Amino acid sequence: MITKVSNGCGKVRVTFAMPAAIWADTIHLVGDFNRWNSSATPLSLDDDNWSVTLELEPGQEYQYRYLVNGMDWYNDWQADRYEPNEHGGDNSVVVTTIGKRFSDALDPRDEVDEHRSFEIVMPLEEPVYELNDYIGDELAEIALPLHGPFVVGIGSLSDY
């Protein structure tokens, strides 16, 4: 699992985590950011998970995997995507782009554009909701039951 937050100093703070339920003596994060060094980036275990946080350059894509007990390779089940590797498997990929906040993209003082559409997508769940209506001078609102991470997008703007 990965979480991404801008650190306010031009970097993206990315936390990489694996569930504590994975039996292991050691788990290392191995990837482009540490030149695939199998011992450079150990994860620490707490009550909830194994994790490590890195400060990465924004606007980049980094391939990575988890090395458990120096022998077993694991992918991140919630990676941004996967890329084939030279060993016949896949690498996890983290993309260090932090989108503009959805709430910042909507300004009620903006001129109303009746062709603007909004899309809310919940991965692996249906349905996809679209919102195309305004109520007077105000934006229409919709409440959705959410059961996990989701992405809200308006054109090229997104919020996670």
Query: How close are the terminal C-alpha atoms of the chain, in Å?
Result: 14
CA-nearest of 104, 106, 101, 100 to 139 is 106
Instruction: Please state the rounded mean pLDDT for residues 63-81.
Output: 96
Q: What is the pLDDT of residue 6?
A: 84
CA-nearest of 110, 15, 10 to 54 is 15
Q: 14-71, pLDDT tens digit by residue?
A: 999 999 999 999 999 999 999 999 999 999 999 889 999 999 999 999 999 999 999 9
User: Checking phi first, is residue 71 left (phi over 0); if not, alpha (psi -120 to 50) or beta?
Assistant: alpha
Q: 129-139, pLDDT tens digit by residue?
A: 444 444 455 55
Q: What is the pLDDT of residue 145?
A: 55
User: How many other C-beta atoms can be found within 10 angstroms of the C-beta atom of residue 86?
Assistant: 6
Q: With 80 as the cut, is the pLDDT of residue 4 above it?
A: yes
For the domain bounded by 2-95, which CATH number is listed?
2.60.40.10
Task: Quickly list H helices, 44-130.
Answer: 102-105
Between 41 and 141, the more confident residue is 41
Task: Quickly list H helices, the chain.
Answer: 102-105
The owner of tokens 């932090």 is 98
Q: 100-121, pLDDT tens digit by residue?
A: 444 444 445 455 444 444 444 4
The reported pTM is 0.62
Cα separation, 117 vs 133, whole angstroms: 8
Q: What is the pLDDT of residue 29?
A: 98
CA atoms within 13 A on the CB side of 7: 14
Q: What is the pLDDT of residue 9?
A: 83
Q: Is the Cβ–Cβ distance between 97 and 85 less than 8 Å?
A: no
Indicate the domain borders of the chain: 2-95, 102-159
Cα separation, 149 vs 141, whole angstroms: 19
Query: What value, to the nearest 5°, has the Cα angle with vertex 30 and ends 29 and 36?
Result: 160
Instruction: Please state the rounded mean pLDDT for residues 63-84.
Output: 96
In the structure, what pLDDT confidence band is assigned to residue 7 with cuts at 50, 70 and 90? confident
